[in-house]
Amino acid sequence: MFWPLLALALLLLFDYLFTPGFFRLELRGGNLYGSRIDVLNQGARVMLVSLGMTLVIATGGVDLSVGTVMALAGTVAARLLVVDGYGFIAAVSGALGIALLAGAWNGVLVAYFNIQPIIATLILMVAGRGVAQLVSDGQIINFNDASMVFLGNGHFFRLPFTLTIVLFVFVGMWALTRQTAVGLFIEAVGDNPVASRYAGVNARLVTFLAYLLTGLCSGLAGLVASSNIKSADANHIGLYLELDAILAVVVGGTALTGGRFYLVNSLVGALLIQTLTTTMYARNISADIAPMPKALVIIAVCLLQSEKARRYLNQRFTRHQSAALPAITPSRAQP
Amino acid sequence: MDKAPLLEIRGLEKSFPGVQALQGVDFTVGRGEIHALMGENGAGKSTLIKVLTGVYNRDGGESRFEGRSIRPRSPREAEEAGISTVYQEVNLIPHLSVAENICLGRQTTRLGFVRWHAIRKRAEKALHRLDLTLDTSRQLSSCSVAIQQMVALARALDTSAKLLILDEPTSSLDEREVAELFKVMRKLRGEGMSIVFVTHFLGQVYQVCDRITVLRSGKHVGEYATAQLPRMELIARMIGKDVTEIEKMSRSRDRQPAPLSAQPFLQVTNYGRKGSVCPMDLAVRPGEVVALAGLLGSGRTETAKLIFGADQADSGEIDIEGRPVTIRSPRDALRYRIAFTTEDRKVDGIIPNLSVRENIVLALQASRGPWARMRRPEQNALAGRFIKALDIKTPGPEQPIKNLSGGNQQKVLLGRWLATEPKLFILDEPTRGIDVGAKAEIEKLIDALRKQGMAILFISSELEEVVRASQRVVVLRDGQKIGELTGDEISEQTIMRTIAAPTTDSEAVHPAQL
């Protein structure tokens, strides 16, 4: 929790000092606007996906198909609204339905057929965009249904409505994992699958559930993403978002090897990544080279989390200190 | 040996969050001697070795090796200085060949290319030193545990070591293999090498060691010549009690005859699985301990796994309390109130990064299902109860279980299963790799559970233990039940005689050939 928060604070401090206008907040039409609000609004997608991704990673797996599932959900909703003339409720239900189906597909492949998560979800990652193209007939579908547009652009209590969605999903996920034993089982299965099975944990069900929930989260993120731009573009919605989501989870301290997971920390990680992105835009860094500074910051956070790197830095530090002050015995870092 | 000692450690200090693991420990190893490092679990043996071999950093103290002060930062640095270690768990790579395992990380290369021929030669030479001829291109996982241990030893010796540390090398070997190992150890001592030997088997210490250093709760208790320290005295030093108390503790219990008339809790008929367990009959009654005895690889663990549903049977029936049932997964077994602590705690027992509390509640929570979560106060109460009842030494219930010593991890696992209030408890090597004190406690616990009417299936490689604990002994060989002993028939001699007896059915086939 500490390191990603520290990194976020440092980054915000940097923006406060060096990025003009980043901390400006305006009240327009009764709603707040500004870079920091942008971070929250744009970050909603990564936050939503990273909540699901946290569970999948905690089981020791990974879901590469989240970006594709976003595109699927977005195009299904747009098609139902525009091409088939259904209402908002039907469109959202259809989109979330297909997202759940996608999650279930991944879950079955991983949990019941024991296919390696990377491979199992890679299949959908690649094939799913094709399905989305079929759904949209290869067209970009534009829509202007008021409710649908509100999802990604509306305001609630002066803040973007997307935040309400994130909050709602977070509370739901927290309740589902921490108010039941699902969270404990996920951590047990991720930490030691064999021992968990011997202890009577239904490892398959738990793993399946993690992928199913990730599907749902990705579906919601897809709805938000397409609502943001009032259209569904099967090729571009959620492109490379799996990377941001995985990074958010890892930066948040959930190990890729599975085990302990931290939902709140993943949200902080997602915010860190979005703040980076927004900072880059605010400083007019071209989108082509933007990934590079982003990668540097993320590597720094990951190194800070690594015991080994910390110990190394610590030793360097104490050695310098003891060289400067020979009278003081150097204290050793605890492992 | 009147020269300066090979290794001299003075006032070693090491602490972990919440625990002072070593407090001013001294340890001296002379040249060309086999030196036993003894102590209960948590006494600091492993920590001492890990500091010595550079796995941990020390907090204070001095160590001199061959007269020079050393402070290795990694096992590799220790190896380069001449200190090699064979750890309790075989730390090799199962999918590589024997030769690769011996030379891994120090391959002979020419212009950056690995010279396979030279590596194989070198591996053969290293094995030859242990009087072992073996096809070095064989995949390691296809070798027996004993051979793997020898390969680990060969790997350690390959680095021209002067001091060899053997951390519990015998816990997964049978008696003949242990004898082989001892022969090798004596040979190496003859060549002038010093060996530090960590073990829980007191008998082995007296067979092979010259001197003994005893640790207790992170402190140095004393250093003795083996010949001048009788067994009882040694135990007394280790657990810090006086001799008379121990004699009371180890006096053999009364053996009540098995109540054969009672209805068995578990009755398997013709139960088996191709390739591991030949179809067999077995019954366990409430209030009795049935032991599975036999050499390693005789099918004891496989039988237990079959009954627990970890492996699926492909023949035979299973009855619980007289009713036929099917058990196809551990969850099924749990439903019929069957508990199982496995042989290998680390691989299929503990959930290492979860807390002691979470490890204790896991099985009970699993039996209630994911939706009926136990409230935190209930979890705390349960964990607290077992920490107290089983005397689990932990800084607190929220400590990750991986930080506990082996014996205490085992107690947590016993607690995990006792929390489910089992009617049949299958214990596979529950005392392996844990110290005398904890061993006695676990034996006492087994007896208490039996008296409360639990049915217990007990597996142990230590015949002494089998004889002390059980009312009935089922003897296995090559995955086959070859005999059953009850009451007064049970003794180490009869068990061994049964194992050694020629097969009556000359047509018997090894299960692996089926």
The confidence score (pLDDT) of residue B241 equals 65
**Tell me: the pLDDT tens digits for B436-452?**
778 888 888 998 999 88
pLDDT at B507 over 50: no
- Residues A287-309 have a mean pLDDT of 77
The confidence score (pLDDT) of residue A172 equals 96
Sequence-distant (6+) residues with CB within 8 A of B352 are A191, A192, B346, B400, B401, B402
Which chain A residues contact residue B361 at CB under 8 A? Answer: 184
Degrees, nearest 5: CA angle B374-B376-B377: 105
The confidence score (pLDDT) of residue B505 equals 43
The gap from C-alpha A45 to its chain's centroid, in whole angstroms, comes to 7
* Contact (CB<8Å) B349/A181: no
Q: In a mutagenesis test of the A interface, which of B311, B354, B413 is the best target, namely the one with the most A β-carbons within 10 Å?
A: B354
**Structure tokens belonging to residue A292:** 């590079």
Dist CA B240 CA A261 (whole Å): 42
Question: What are the backbone dihedrals phi and psi of residue B9, each rounded to the nearest 5 degrees, phi first?
Answer: -115, 135
Give the 3-state secondary structure of residue B211: strand
Sequence-distant (6+) residues with CB within 8 A of A275 are A8, A11, A12, A15, A39, A43
Lowest mean pLDDT: which of B52-56, B64-68, B93-97, B109-113? B109-113
The confidence score (pLDDT) of residue A153 equals 86
- Write down all domains in chain B, each with its CATH number in brackets: 7-250 (3.40.50.300), 260-337+424-514 (3.40.50.300), 347-421 (no CATH)
Q: Percent of chain A having pLDDT more than 70?
A: 94
Other C-beta atoms closer than 10 Å to the C-beta of B23 total: 17
| Sheet with B455-459, edge to edge strand ranges | B338-341, B424-428, B455-459, B289-293, B472-477, B480-486
Sequence-distant (6+) residues with CB within 8 A of B198 are B36, B37, B38, B45, B46, B49, B165, B166, B167, B168
pLDDT at A323 over 70: no
| Cβ–Cβ < 8 Å for A54, A245 | no
Of A179, A200, A335, the CB nearest to B363: A200
Q: Where are any strands of DSSP class E within chain A?
A: 26-28, 31-33, 141-142, 155-156, 159-160, 231-232
| Cβ–Cβ < 8 Å for A66, A80 | no
Q: How far is CA A307 from CA A263, A302, B77, B492, in A?
A: 21, 10, 20, 50
**Tell me: the pLDDT tens digits for B308-335?**
999 999 899 999 998 999 999 999 999 9
Residue B310 in contact with partner chain A when CB distance is under 8 A: yes
Sequence-distant (6+) residues with CB within 8 A of B225 are B210, B211, B212
Residue A24 in contact with partner chain B when CB distance is under 8 A: no
The confidence score (pLDDT) of residue A327 equals 38
| Number of helical (H) and strand (E) elements in chain B, helices listed first | 18, 22
What interhelical angle do A35-58 and A241-251 show, nearest 10?
A: 80
Torsional class of A138: left (φ above 0), alpha (ψ -120 to 50), beta (otherwise)? left
Q: Which of B432, B464, B462, B449 is nearest to B265 (CA)?
A: B449
pLDDT at B258 over 60: no
Mean pLDDT, rounded, of chain B: 84
Residue B472 carries which side chain, given as an amino acid letter? R
Residues 361-400 of B with CB under 8 A from A: 361-363, 365-374
| Polymer length in residues for chain B | 514
Q: Percent of chain A having pLDDT more than 90?
A: 55
- Residues A109-134 have a mean pLDDT of 94
**Tell me: the pLDDT tens digits for B20-61?**
889 989 999 999 999 999 887 678 888 899 898 888 888 888
The confidence score (pLDDT) of residue A190 equals 94
**Structure tokens belonging to residue A299:** 């590597």
Residue A114 in contact with partner chain B when CB distance is under 8 A: no
pLDDT at B120 over 90: no
Residue of B nearest to A258 (CA): B353
The model's confidence at residue A89, banded by pLDDT at 50, 70 and 90, is: very high
The confidence score (pLDDT) of residue B426 equals 96
Other C-beta atoms closer than 10 Å to the C-beta of A48 total: 32
Give the 3-state secondary structure of residue A33: strand
- Residues B333-349 have a mean pLDDT of 90
pLDDT at A27 over 90: no
* Contact (CB<8Å) A191/B354: yes
* Contact (CB<8Å) A197/B310: yes
Residue A254 in contact with partner chain B when CB distance is under 8 A: no
Other C-beta atoms closer than 10 Å to the C-beta of A259 total: 22
- Write down all domains in chain A, each with its CATH number in brackets: 2-284 (1.10.3470), 286-335 (no CATH)
- Residues A135-148 have a mean pLDDT of 90
In angstroms, what separates the C-alpha of B299 from chain A's closest C-alpha?
Answer: 19
pLDDT at A182 over 60: yes
Residue A333 in contact with partner chain B when CB distance is under 8 A: yes
**Tell me: the pLDDT tens digits for B138-192?**
888 887 777 888 888 888 877 678 899 998 877 667 777 788 889 888 988 988 8
pLDDT at A134 over 80: yes
Lowest mean pLDDT: which of A35-39, A148-152, A274-278, B357-361? A35-39
ipTM associated with this complex: 0.83
Which chain A residues contact residue B366 at CB under 8 A? Answer: 181, 185, 199-202
Residue B352 in contact with partner chain A when CB distance is under 8 A: yes
Where is pLDDT greater, at A125 or B489?
Answer: A125
The model's confidence at residue B248, banded by pLDDT at 50, 70 and 90, is: low
| Cβ–Cβ < 8 Å for B22, B14 | yes
The model's confidence at residue B89, banded by pLDDT at 50, 70 and 90, is: low
The confidence score (pLDDT) of residue B97 equals 86
Lowest mean pLDDT: which of A53-62, A140-149, A209-218, B199-208? B199-208
The confidence score (pLDDT) of residue B178 equals 83
